Amino acid sequence: MARNPNTVAQDAGANAALIEIQAGLGKPQKALSPKWLYDEIGSQLFERICEQPEYYIPATERAMLEEHANALDAFCGTRCIVIEPGAGSAEKTAILLGALDQPAAYVPIEISPTALQACKRRIAHEFPNLAIMPLVGDFTAEVALPRIGNLQWRRRVLFLPGSTIGNFDPDTVRELLTMWKRMAGVHGGLIVGVDLRKPREILEAAYDDAAGVTAQFNLNLLRRLNREFGADFDLDAFRHRAVYNDALGRIEMHLVSLRQQRVHVGGESFDFANGETIHTENSYKYRPGDFAELALSAGWGRRDLWIDAQSRFSIHCLDA
Ligand code: AVJ
């Protein structure tokens, strides 16, 4: 039977995913990429994390963007193109676009086509006169920007809110910043939200909220592996753990095995000792100067640095 080339591509993609997952579970410290956390249920759970009182990032950043609306406008200038890798629901983008006098276009880049469509609809509804050019792509991908036709524009500004870059280790962040500088081009700009180091209790509570939403978010990864990769994880035999690694300046999320057990994933078996963990996510926290230095080492020049009154979160505005 002739096979649809899309199906073949999907099968190859699923197979590559399975191989990656098996390799992660085969490591001495079992680890899975945080990207697996964001299936449809995971994305919905993340939206709910953003509403938890302990998870201070969204509310803090939103208030900061509103407070610095004039400075954002001055930084972007008239007729800038706002590019947002990993646009998601683009909730903060609406604040940025609302602050701008006359943006030329908005280019959301998003791995999930459904999220990208929702993002486009949302921004189109709020900004009916704005040109929107959605692109399907990974957060870490260097995408070719679409032809802008006869649209007049002056500056490209990349927008990376939410401390999304916190998922990557600093060396990878440097590489990403270098790539984003190429994407922004000459006279380009970057607005990046970066979470700050703070006392362990605040951080650990932010990643282990009292309502248990972050725990559900983390455990959903196992549910996903069961559903999509025929794994047989017992969800009651694992527990969510968030721990601040002070030496590395990062929150680590783990799934802790509550007993000795054997799990099967796509025909391979993996043994867990009681207390052994799967490392599922890192969230790096920076000192303001350390992040500025990292950006500098990737070729960016510093323009503005904002920190909220409680020193929880920072926004760096950088020139290419
Ligand atoms: C989406 C990567 C910014 O690290 O704060 C939140 C993900 N995980 N709670 C973060 C997350 C658990 C979040 N980022």
pLDDT along the chain (320 residues), means of 10: 57 87 98 92 93 98 98 97 91 95 94 88 95 91 80 93 96 97 95 98 98 98 96 98 98 98 96 98 97 97 97 98
- Residue 71, C-beta contacts closer than 8 angstroms, at least 6 positions apart: 304, 306, 317
Decide whether any atom of ligand 1 lies within 6 Å of the 213 Cβ: no
pLDDT tens sequence across 140-183: 889 888 777 778 899 999 999 999 999 999 999 999 999 999 99
Listed residue (93, 102, 105, 94) closest to 73, CA to CA: 102
* Distance of alpha carbon 233 from alpha carbon 135, whole angstroms: 35
218 CB near ligand 1 (under 6 Å) = no
State pLDDT tens for residues 188-230. 999 999 999 999 999 999 999 999 999 999 999 999 999 999 9
- Between the CA of 77 and the centroid of ligand 1 the distance, in Å, is 30
Residue bearing the CA closest to ligand 1, atom 6: 207
Please check whether residue 104 is in contact with residue 79, taking contact to mean a CB–CB distance below 8 angstroms.
yes
Name the phi and psi angles at 234, rounded to 5.
-90, 110
Give me ligand 1 centre to Cα 253, in Å.
10
- Residue corresponding to tokens 């350390």: 290
- Dist. CA 37–CA 45, nearest whole Å: 10
Of all protein residues, whose CA lies closest to atom 14 belonging to ligand 1? 164
The two three-digit tokens of residue 205, written as one number? 């509570």
Distance CA 262, CA 284 (A): 31
Place of tokens 């790096």: 284
Q: Are 151 and 105 in contact (CB under 8 A)?
A: yes
Q: Is the dihedral of CA 82, 85, 87, 91 positive or negative?
A: negative
3-state secondary structure 44-72: HHHHHHCCCCCCCHHHHHHHHHHHCHHHH
Is residue 278 within a helix (H) or strand (E), and if so which, with residue range? Answer: strand 277-284
Residue nearest to atom 2 of ligand 1 (CA): 164
Q: Report DSSP state, residue 91.
A: H
* 238 Cα to the center of ligand 1, angstroms: 20
Q: Answer yes or no: are the C-beta atoms of 212 and 219 closer than 8 Å.
A: no
Alpha helices in the chain (DSSP H): 5-25, 40-49, 57-67, 69-76, 91-99, 113-126, 170-184, 200-206, 213-229, 288-297
Secondary structure of residue 16 in the 3-state scheme: helix
Q: For ligand 1, is residue 203 a contact (CB within 6 Å)?
A: no
How far is residue 221's CA from residue 238's CA, in Å, rounded to a whole number? 11
Q: Is 130 helix (H, G, I), strand (E, B) or coil?
A: coil
Is 247 exposed, middle or buried (CB count within 10 Å of its CB: 0-12, 13-18, 19+)? exposed
- At 7 the pLDDT is 59
Pairwise CA distance, residues 33 & 139, whole Å: 14
**Which of helix, strand or coil describes residue 170?**
helix
pTM score, whole prediction: 0.93
Q: How far is the C-alpha of 172 from the C-alpha of 165, rounded, in Å?
A: 9
What pLDDT, on the 0 to 100 scale, is given for residue 282? 98
